[in-house]
Amino acid sequence: MKMVSLSRRAPHMARRRMRVAAILTVIANLAAALIPGSAAPAFAVTTPEYNYSFTTATSSALHSVPGSQVTAALAAGQMLYLYTKDLFNILLTPMGADDAPGTTFYLSCWKAGESTTHRVGVYTAQNTVTPNETTIDGTMRWLLVAPSAGSYTCEIQVGSYARGDSIIEAGGRIYMRVKAGAQLNYSYVGQPGSIVRSAHSWAMSNVASLGEEFVLWSGVKQLNGSTIPLTQGAGNLTIVQDVNLTTCIPDDHLKWSDCAGGDGGSTMRTWIEAQPQHSDGSACGPLIKGTVKSTWISRPRHHKTVNNTLMISRSGMGAACTQVRTALKVELGGGAQTVITTSGMPYRGQPADARRRLPVLI
């Protein structure tokens, strides 16, 4: 049914166009600066208002947001921390209940000399719940790890998609606007004045292959289990873990068989856990559990990115703690089963085992 199949284009477009990483983990030293809006970044660009529109034929087409491009010269392995601030998309066309056109924002980068269609980055996607809602947020945060030396360009992209509403069905046009004042903030990792002192990358050990998506029926799913070394004299640590979720609705079973029978929306609970450890992996003090965040994903919303942050005092863990084991917990608190998206893709030419590597900052 067209109405349902088109409503799934946010994650579908992301996989088809980029294979972007849908789960991001960041651990930073100095950390309040990592939370968008909490401190001035090392560098930032601010975009003007950007208007665009789409029809049935151009639904899901990608647009580069003017003024959002930044370019950085990076050595092999050097890292750039990026995040958006005040990024909002506004629906300008009046629409009826449950029309729910959607938007996907991308934060993506590519190397000079490579095709701009070959990118790496992250995305966030959700439908606008019409008729009362007109504005959605596009917060994204990510770590670029340069696979080889060169000049890298990063930018914000936007694409909108429509369900089977009367405007699209009649061959009409839907008008959208990226609000003026959106920022792409970025900081070199480990340089003087950087908001991030050092960084690591790690593989998602619980993901068997690229593009895996897990449908959660009940209980808790643990993601992103990783052990990160700690340095003495560090200040605060900030652990950031973002996850893309899709509540199952009718006809989603055509893509995800475990979605069969799902409908009505989902209540999702997410939180970050951190276990300080000795060098042998034994516990060094109690488990640290972040605040549980409850998120309602309605049927018309369909998709939602949930951003989670946990701040920890390094000094409070004691000198004997040499590492910390982190994880993101995702719990279905009620309602329809929910898809957890964990796909990612590297630059061309990276070894196979790098294809499942997602960023971590310390």
Q: What is the pLDDT of residues 210-226, one digit of tens each?
A: 345 689 999 999 876 77
CA distance 217 to 330: 11
Least confident of 201-210, 258-267, 353-362: 353-362
CA distance 311 to 27: 9
Q: What percent of the chain has pLDDT over 90?
A: 42
> What pLDDT, on the 0 to 100 scale, is given for residue 287?
94
Selected residue with higher pLDDT from 321 and 294: 294
> What pLDDT, on the 0 to 100 scale, is given for residue 233?
58
- Flag whether pLDDT at 36 surpasses 50: no
- Flag whether pLDDT at 8 surpasses 60: no
pLDDT, mean over the chain: 78
Least confident of 140-154, 173-187, 259-273: 140-154
Q: Return the H-helix or E-strand segment holding 2.
A: helix 2-7
CB 182 within 8 A of CB 88: yes
User: Which are the contacts of 127, defined by CB distance < 8 A and separation ≥ 6?
Assistant: 7, 10, 100, 101, 102, 103, 163, 300, 301, 302, 303
* HEC assignment per residue over 140-198: CEEEEECCCCEEEEEEEEEEEECCCCHHHHCCCCEEEEECCCCEEEEEECCCCCCCCCC
Per-residue confidence at 50, pLDDT binned at 50, 70, 90? Answer: very high
Per-residue confidence at 156, pLDDT binned at 50, 70, 90? Answer: very high
